[in-house]
A and B are shown apart, each in its own frame.
Chain A
């Protein structure tokens, strides 16, 4: 049985993280299994956690009247779910549902924010990793704005 620290070390989000920092983080973490179809977060709710996905897929989206859940992004193994826990007012922007049974490591946000405040080096490292994810998501969103496949091709 892997420890949480082992699982985090092998997760892309935490790759290369300082061993001491990892030790601190595991203090806020626990393993979870989320049932297929379960709601993980809800738009507007308090952002009190984040998840490092180990397996299974998560749909991120909004629920529109009469149209159900409109997926805007999907998350997979090695992705993380949630960054709103890092910035006030700590509210989720979207819904997230498990598309499969999801195995993840979840972190308590209050605990994490406390550790970051106590150790600015850890806080900076974590903020950098979150910023990198936000950059990737922003680039991906921009590419979708380009409507790439809408443009022509000889076929």
Chain B
């Protein structure tokens, strides 16, 4: 599968090491995707990396990817400027399954840069707000500075039809918001057992979050999480992202906790 050349048409520095790129295909084609899916982004002569889509699938604007500078490819991507081009293959993988959640409540829990794939879902929910019941959004970051999409989070917070909780691990002077890990916020959010929970963040954070949600009475089948594994081909052929019988790239990255919990229970599976 050959990449399609995409041009950077927008660039926003989110935090010290996170950049959001807005991309348009140089051939004018438009990517159709669902919230939760990912693309393989290619930086010339460096390589490819799997990055979730962070834009609203219904938005009709450029596709957006929010990249954290953690390796050689992501560093190169973060360094791209408006007008530069990159390669894009995709979209790949499962999505958040928002349609199946319509009519019910949503509990959205993001940890760190895990907010990026959830921004895709949050912006879609806002665009179709009347399809859903109550929407609780819990965002945890290490420090206030490391919160991505700050202006947007503020705009979400200002809406009366969303309940947004931002909590930090380490407050900085002047932080008047909540301090504590996301799990300590969950006892206070509206959480109907019939709601659907969408969780994305580092694996350990997702494990604790799923546990806390189950303590609130949510069945594992209604908790959806987005997994990270080493994805190279993105089409279930290179083998790197296997987790038991699962190919995370094709069967995931979004799984129900019911499916994932027994797999993550085995160390180094």
Contact = CB atoms under 8 A, between A and B. Distances in A.
A45 to B, nearest CB: 22
Given A70-B171, A154-B38, A154-B50, A143 B116 contact: no
A140 B180 contact: yes
Interface string A55-85: 0010111000001111111101110000000
Contacts of B179: 59-61, 71-74
Interface residues of B, number: 51
Interface in B151-190: 167, 169-181, 183-184, 187-188
A155 B52 contact: yes
Contacts of B180: 73-74, 140, 144
Interface string A74-109: 101110000000000000000000010000000000
A55 to B, nearest CB: 12
A143 B168 CA distance: 12
A143 B179 CA distance: 13
Contacts of A144: 169-170, 180-181
A144 B204 CA distance: 11
A71 B178 CA distance: 9
Interface string B49-65: 01110100000000001
Counting chain A CB atoms within 10 Å of each CB, which of B169, B175, B187 scores highest?
Answer: B169
Contact of B178 (A67, A70, A74): A74
A154 B52 contact: yes
A59 B116 CA distance: 29
Contacts of B226: 154
B140 A149 contact: yes
B66 A71 contact: no
B142 interface: yes
Contact of B188 (A76, A143, A149): A76
A57 B185 CA distance: 13
B173 A155 contact: no
- Chain A, interface size category, equals 20 to 34
Contact of B111 (A77, A78, A149): A149
Given A152-B202, A154-B52, A69 B184 contact: no
Contacts of A152: 68, 70, 202, 228
B208 interface: yes
A106 to B, nearest CB: 21
A59 B200 CA distance: 27
B86 interface: no
Contact of A70 (B167, B173, B176, B202): B173
A140 B117 CA distance: 25
A71 B202 contact: no
Given A140-B180, A144-B181, A154-B228, A61 B202 contact: no
Contacts of B66: 155
A151 B169 CA distance: 13
A150 B50 CA distance: 19
17 contacts: A59-B176, A68-B174, A69-B173, A70-B172, A71-B175, A72-B171, A76-B188, A149-B141, A152-B202, A153-B111, A153-B201, A153-B202, A154-B50, A154-B228, A154-B231, A155-B66, A155-B74
5 closest Cβ pairs, A-B complex? A149-B112, A71-B171, A151-B202, A148-B205, A143-B181
